[in-house]
Amino acid sequence: MKFDTKVVRAGITPDPTTGSILPPIYETATYVLEEVGKDKGFDYTRSSNPTRQVLEANLAAIENAEYAISFASGMSAVDATFKLLSSGDHVICGDDVYGGVTRHLDNVLNRYGLSTTYVNSVDADAVSSAIKPATKMIWIETPTNPLLRITDLEAMVSIAKEHDILLAVDSTFATPVFLRPLEFGVDIVMHSTTKYLSGHNQIIGGVLATNRKDIFDEMKYIQKTIGAVSSPFDCWLNLSGLKTLHLRMKRHEESAMRIAGFLESHQKVAWVLFPGLPSHPQHDIAKAQMSGFSGMIAFELKDGAEAGRRLMNALNLCGLAESLGSVETMITHPATMTHADVPDEDRRKRGLTDGLVRLSVGIEDADDIIEDLEQGLAQA
């Protein structure tokens, strides 16, 4: 079955009772047993649910994974991944990742004996140099949030395997349409399904995918124990959004390419980062590793942070919002929004300047978004 067909059909069969072409929403907490010790595959929705099971089968298929687990949020999926580790273990984490991940590592998990070293994951030598005897996991994003760096997955897998370290990749920005990290030998792939995988700003969710049964069994046990499960209704909405994933992503990418080109040529823009531009530092890696460049852009204005604020406040179509990956175009100020909890000194050291602007390109007509940016830039 080809990818575009998997997106629409994998894991989904007509309901055997009614013939419904869509899976029912099993909005139930518990299930009646046939007799003591004998159930019909389900006993309690915190453990499993038929609607969630369909979603997980679909997500596993499009990620080319043996197993997928649907979580209540992207961060609960992140948390479950780190709970594979023990007190005293060490994590190497990319230094350009979602601010919620660094907040969790630095302010919560550190209380339980987990230590973290942040490195630029593009630099394979820096990653190797950060390895300690206690290092048990490497956590990276590609493309990263918000600087859109591209990590060479073959190099990272080689390092992880050489040192018997788990490699986990947040592939939210790429989606399985453009990148499937498990095919490179990665151990765990994570997505915030809130973003592109649902695509309509309707749900909060996350997913973990793996080809290793030992990892799947442990993560499933962790999820059941802490209760970080997605609701049946959210699963159903996620399934509905997934059906157009391949179509949406191509439109996101096409529009982002045009908009990135417009921004790069604008006299008020200092620089633009978009993996599809030849000027992107890892453009060649992105071309070799991905089948497309997704819909995220980062840029900064020549007049700095205040000009960026004026731009964002002047826009009409581009909503100033925290999230990304939706059909609507959204613009974000990472320093005060997604990465507000990262200490200023650390943030600036990692290249997350006060003037950095992140743009999540939607599926509107690109001309309208360019026109909105043009009038906003005129006021910046």
Name the active-site residue from 67, 98, 118, 196: 98
Residues pairing with 229 in the sheet? 71
Name the active-site residue from 31, 46, 103, 348: 46
Q: State the Cα–Cα distance between residues 96 and 94, nearest whole angstrom.
A: 5
Name the active-site residue from 95, 106, 170, 372: 170
Residue 27's CB is within 10 A of a number of other CB atoms, namely 12
Residues pairing with 210 in the sheet? 67, 188
Q: State the Cα–Cα distance between residues 344 and 49, nearest whole angstrom.
A: 43
Q: State the Cα–Cα distance between residues 305 and 333, nearest whole angstrom.
A: 9
Name the active-site residue from 6, 83, 149, 195: 195
98 classed as catalytic: yes
One-letter-per-residue 3-state SS of 295-311:
CEEEEEECCHHHHHHHH
The one-letter amino acid code at 36 reads V
46 classed as catalytic: yes
Q: Is residue 188 within 8 Å of residue 208, measured between CB atoms?
A: yes
Q: What is the dihedral of CA 122, 123, 125, 129, to 10 degrees?
A: -90
170 classed as catalytic: yes
Distance of CA 85 to the CA centre of its chain: 21
Q: State the Cα–Cα distance between residues 87 and 134, nearest whole angstrom.
A: 10
Residues pairing with 207 in the sheet? 70, 191
Q: State the Cα–Cα distance between residues 179 and 209, nearest whole angstrom.
A: 13
Q: State the Cα–Cα distance between residues 300 and 263, nearest whole angstrom.
A: 10
118 classed as catalytic: no
The set of catalytic residues is 46, 98, 170, 195
